[in-house]
Amino acid sequence: MSERNLETICVQAGWEPGKGEPRVLPIYQSTTFKYDTSEQMGRLFDLEDAGYFYTRLANPTNDYVAKKICELEGGVAAMLTSSGQAANYYAVFNICECGDHVIMSSSIYGGTFNLVTCTMKKMGIECTVIDPDCTEEELNAAFRDNTKCVLAESISNPNLIILDFEKFAKAAHAHNVPLIVDNTFPTPINCRPIEFGADIVTHSTTKYMDGHALTVGGCIVDSGNFEWSKYPDKFPGLTTPDDSYHGLTYTEKFGKLAYITKATSQLMRDLGSIQAPQNAFLLNVGLETLHLRMPKHCENALSVAKFLKSQERVAWVRYPGLEDDPYHDLAKKYMPNGTCGVICFGIKGGRAASEKVMDALKMIAIVTHVADARTCVLHPASHTHRQMTDEQLEAAGISPDLIRLSVGIENADDIIADLKQALAE
Ligand SMILES: *Cc1c(COP(=O)(O)O)cnc(C)c1O
């Protein structure tokens, strides 16, 4: 079935009912699952049999939706998490522990930056933050003996830097560690990171995948390509016995499914960031139109970006779809059908001028969100990235005047009309 086109996968994959079963994905609204014998249930706890027993670890509704995202990304296994934050946390923590080190792109979502550089640091995991436009030599120099992964975004939120997949995958693999790519912004409709060397793909499904600002959620997809067992000393969590499962070794028992099985049966069991099945159901409805919405977001964003560029009061515009954008060539290489609906721009006069234009918008709302059907704006320096120092903001490529405009799927003329009146204020 892996030969199906993306549009068909969006609509049909995941829940594929048999005779007499519901046409639509059922919500398994149950915390628990029944067995006939104590022995049957015991085998589940030993991971000897596959099956559901408690929704803190896994739930069928979630798994059908994860299966759809897995097929969209071209992976071998996937899991849903309660949020994108949980997805990135689990993706890294599944292979890192106290005393380990990760390399992370400086152009990354503010929440991920805090997670890795503050919270995971308290857990004893060190991080080297690297400019995504660094040279190969600089990137290679960042690796240490205890480095366990490289983390970056395919299109960075908010500053829209397109990842040089080739450079990052090559460096990660030369140092025997996986490349983890957060693919939230382009979604698999516009970019499939596994095709370009990513080993693990993460998502905040809260954004385009849900698409309607209904539910917070996340997803982790494993390509199955990284050979953990080749580097047993580097990834002991996967390649040596897990005491919490009577000495089972994930790579031996589960092969290509080792990484996701460990994340589910160990991290989800112990940390419990499961997505509610109700939310997974809503996410699945969103996914059914992802292939229709993404091109519309991109088409509208390009029109709006061109309009902004023509405006006297606008100091600068960044949109990788614009031909003179510094990341246009990388965008063409890795996402030829389009990037995403997000634009960044600044107003002449700096921070205060940008905030004034935002306040004058009527239809376009100021919300802490991005990548849903309704056009919205946010000022990263005073909102999502508020905890960063000016130096950190600069390193992350976020200027104080930067307005993040998430272009929705309304009529582009109406979005432009609202911007026009706000700029005329
Ligand atoms: C929003 C976002 C996250 C965090 O996801 P939540 O669902 O809000 O927890 C992670 N990465 C990127 C690129 C995001 O845009």
pLDDT, position 305: 98
| Atom number of ligand 1 nearest to Cα 88 | 10
Residue bearing the bigger pLDDT, 59 or 2: 59
**pLDDT tens by residue, 56-103:** 999 999 999 999 999 999 999 999 999 999 999 999 999 999 999 999
Considering only the top CATH level, what class is 292-423?
alpha beta
- The amino acid at residue 259 is Y
Q: Give rounded-to-5 percent helix, strand, coil for the chain.
A: 40, 15, 45
The answer to whether the CB of 85 is under 6 A from ligand 1 is yes
**pLDDT tens by residue, 222-281:** 999 999 999 999 999 999 999 988 899 999 999 999 999 999 999 999 999 999 999 999
C-alpha 302 to ligand 1 mean position (Å): 23
The answer to whether the CB of 84 is under 6 A from ligand 1 is yes
The answer to whether the CB of 109 is under 6 A from ligand 1 is yes
pLDDT, position 2: 52
> 277: cis peptide before it, omega within 30°?
no
Closest residue by Cα to atom 6, ligand 1, is 84
The answer to whether the CB of 207 is under 6 A from ligand 1 is yes
CATH of span 6-285: 3.40.640.10
What is the DSSP code string of 361-402? -SSSEE-S--SSSS-EEE-TTTTTTTTS-HHHHHHTT--TT-
Q: What are the residues whose beta carbons fall under 8 Å from the beta carbon of 57, sequence distance 6 or more? A: 264, 265, 268, 269, 274
What is the DSSP code string of 43-85? HHHTTSS----BTTT--HHHHHHHHHHHHHHT-SEEEEESSHH
Q: How far is CA 179 from the centre of its chain?
A: 13
C-alpha 85 to ligand 1 mean position (Å): 6
Q: How far is CA 45 from CA 41, 374, 417, in A?
A: 7, 44, 59
CA distance linking residue 302 with residue 371, whole number of Å: 15
The answer to whether the CB of 83 is under 6 A from ligand 1 is yes
Say if residue 212's pLDDT is above 60. yes
Closest residue by Cα to atom 2, ligand 1, is 204
Closest by CA to 200, choosing from 312, 56, 42, 90, is 90
User: What residues does 305 pair with on adjacent strands?
Assistant: none
Q: Is this prediction's pTM over 0.95?
A: yes
Burial of 395 (0-12, 13-18, 19+ CB in 10 A): middle
Return the domain boundaries, the chain: 6-285, 292-423
User: Which of 89, 187, 191, 206 has most ligand 1 atoms within 8 Å of CB, for mutation?
Assistant: 206
CA distance linking residue 113 with residue 182, whole number of Å: 13
The answer to whether the CB of 251 is under 6 A from ligand 1 is no
CA distance linking residue 377 with residue 368, whole number of Å: 8
C-alpha 218 to ligand 1 mean position (Å): 8
